[in-house]
A = this chain, B = another copy of it.
Amino acid sequence: MQGLLLVISGPSGVGKGTICRVLSQRLPNVYLSVSATTRAPRPGELDGKDYYFIDEPQFIKMINNNELLEWAKVYRYYYGTPRRPVFNALDEGRHAVLEIDVQGGLQVKRRAPDAVLIFIVPPSQEELRCRLLKRNTDAADEIEERLAWASREMAALKEYDYAVINDRVEDAVAKIEAIITAEQCRVRRFALKEE
């Protein structure tokens, strides 16, 4: 059985990274997609694990060669999902999980209509501000910019298939596991394969 293409989006600070990590620990057959980006690594981030850190000319070349499943320019940096490892994983029957923003998620949906789009919702805007402040890696004005960005991201929620509130990580992950099980039972999915 072909794996599912799962897109996980939501505002910065909502806990997408933790959710994806726990999900991949609980399910053996998950491929966590690694994005390419032109932004500088944060302390502790590893090339090829957290991101492929590449320069702008390299990124433009990948766009032109159609090697990206989706890409976007956020702030002044490029982010994108290399296409090949995702489809390799799906063909091996693994679920490919893309932790990307809503612009990217909607691009993926257009190119792969059987993708499952999951939006992670913070319990509240106040909680989101707390989490960003606790993370402590961003300057204050960058936090305000991220909160404004978060509001715009929330507006894209209606384009997504599922909304999962990240109150407790374990509950959010359990809901995503249920979504995976349910999606594998969808009749539409059987029909797509026959065509």
Size of the chain A interface, CB-CB below 8 angstroms: 23
Sampled A-B contacts (16; CB under 8 Å): A119-B187, A157-B187, A158-B187, A160-B187, A162-B182, A162-B187, A163-B185, A163-B187, A163-B190, A174-B181, A175-B181, A177-B178, A178-B181, A178-B185, A181-B182, A182-B183
Please report the C-alpha to C-alpha distance between residue A40 and residue B40 in the assembled complex, in whole angstroms: 75
Note all chain B residues with C-beta closer than 8 A to A162.
182, 185-187
Q: How far apart sit A25 and B7, CA to CA, in the bound complex (Å)?
A: 34
Q: How many copies does the complex hold?
A: 2
Write the nearest CB–CB distance from A36 to chain B, whole angstroms: 29
> In the complex, A119→B185 CA distance in Å?
10
**A1 part of interface (Cβ distance < 8 Å):** no
- Which residues of chain A (32-68) have a CB below 8 Å from chain B? none
Which single residue of chain B is at the shortest CB-CB distance from A179? B182
Closest to A194 in B: B158
Interface membership of A191, Cβ < 8 A? yes
Q: Is the CB of A175 within 8 A of B185?
A: yes
